[in-house]
Amino acid sequence: MEGIRLQKYMAACGVASRRKAELLINEGRVAVNGAVITGQGHSVRDGDVVTVDGRIITPEKNKVYILLNKPRGVVSTANDESGRKTVLDFVKGAQERLYPVGRLDYNTSGLIMLTNDGGFTKYMTHPSHNVGKTYTVTADRDVSAADIARLADGIDIGGYTTAKAGVSYLERDNKRTIKITIFEGRNRQVRRMMEALDYGVRSLRRTCIGNICDNDLREGEWRNLSSDEIRGLGYDIEQRP
């Protein structure tokens, strides 16, 4: 095998642009199989060990970002001890090892993302990034306008008061079904918000994550997210760990 130029290999490892890689080489900070390389034009072959400042570098994996419309009755963890169906069962064709971004309850349907990019998961699950999640909730009775205002203002769900949320009726003539957008993600948060006002939840579906909604995705279907959609969530897809 011919190998690839050292600076190209370094760029594929996400260490630096090719230009910056050349500088690192000139500065004597790069070694191949223990030998410091100072001139340009060196090639890396299969099995070579490349270090920068003494740390081994390896090519980055292909990053994958998937949007799945999870049906009810599916767990959103990667494994389930009792053998129930998991979100990973739907994306078996994917080459990479994926894991879910956050959680969606067993009895909740709707959008969940899967990725192999740990930085993305960290970003999406951190409340300071304010990525809204929108749910359609059908209650066991009509929801009053006063309760819509209470849910929107913040409500005690057992020792924690929820942050402000976007809450409205979904349709004009149906007071049982409401739309809730929250910017945080406490365990079973939407159900607990409804329970705090004595409503039972007949069904719960996550319809949007940020501005990505489920319009074209049927339950059990998935698709790749585009780079623009990822950037639209505020995540810098080019960022390096």
Active site residues: 105
Q: Which value, to the nearest 10 degrees, does the dihedral of the CA atoms of residues 71, 75, 79, 82 take?
A: -110
What span, in angstroms and rounded, lies between the C-alpha atoms of 142 and 157? 20
| Shortest Cβ 195–ligand URA spacing (Å) | 9
Please, what is the minimum distance in Å from the beta carbon of residue 204 to ligand URA? 6
In this structure, what is the dihedral angle of CA atoms 113, 184, 164, 205, given to the nearest 10 degrees? 40
108 near ligand URA, rule: CB under 6 A:
yes
CB of 134 to ligand URA, least distance (A): 10
Backbone angles phi, psi at 141, to 5 degrees: -160, 175
Q: Which of residues 80-99 bind ligand URA (CB under 6 A)?
A: none
Contact letters for ligand URA, residues 163-202 (x by CB under 6 A): -------------------------xxxx-----------
Nearer to ligand URA, 42 or 191 (CB): 191
Q: Is the dihedral of CA 193, 194, 196, 197 positive or negative?
A: positive
How many residues interact with ligand URA (rule CB under 6 A)?
8
- Closer residue to ligand URA, CB minimum distance, 148 or 194: 194
Task: Kindly give the pairing relationship between strand 166-171 and strand 174-182.
Answer: antiparallel
Cα(108)–Cα(85) distance, integer angstroms? 14
CA angle, 226 as apex, 222 and 241 as ends, to 5°?
Answer: 105
Closest contact distance (angstroms) between CB of 191 and ligand URA is 4
Mark 12-51 with x for binding to ligand URA (rule: CB under 6 A) and - for no binding.
Answer: ----------------------------------------
Q: How many CB atoms are located within 10 Å of the residue 232 CB? A: 13
In the complex, which residues of this chain contact ligand URA (CB under 6 A)? Answer: 104-105, 108, 188-191, 204
